[in-house]
Amino acid sequence: MSTPMETVERLNSLLASFDECQISSFNGSHLIIIGDWDLAYHHNFEAEFIEVSYIQCLTKFHAQGFRLATPSERAQLRLADYTETSDHLFRFEADEHQFFIAVQNLELRVGLVLHQPPI
């Protein structure tokens, strides 16, 4: 099992080729972001954020990179009322802005997934 930092490193290496991202689904606790170089017909990775307690993110974006937030960024967001101390706070750059997602865990799935055309 990978650590959150190892998963972020793998995700960032994928973003070098596949920076177009969008939220695929969010059910209140699990957020899935898909990515590719063009999401019209397929995607090459899925980043699943598990047990989301805070989200500040666009629905579509071009991601430049993810990392764990610093303690000062965490304090600046004042998330104590929303997050557990065990939550990982991810910060990412996208379209010249910064965004945050607080979660218990992050899983990454890699592989081509075709999008079915509407019937």
Per-residue pLDDT of 94-109, as tens digits, reads 888 999 999 999 999 9
The Cα 72–Cα 61 span in angstroms is 25
Strands, E assignment, the chain: 20-26, 30-36, 42-50, 54-56, 60-68, 88-94, 97-103, 105-114
* pLDDT tens-digit map of 28-83: 999 999 999 999 999 999 999 999 989 999 999 998 899 998 888 888 887 666 66
Q: What is the mean pLDDT of the chain?
A: 89
Strand partners, 73: none
For position 116, what pLDDT does the model report?
79
* Rounded percentage of the chain residues whose pLDDT exceeds 70: 90
- Residue ranges of alpha helices (H) inside the chain are 4-15, 71-77
Q: In this predicted structure, what is the pLDDT of residue 4?
A: 81
Question: Higher model confidence: residue 112 or residue 74?
Answer: 112
Select the more confidently predicted residue: 58 or 1. 58
Compute CA 103 distance to the chain's CA centroid, rounded to the nearest angstrom: 10
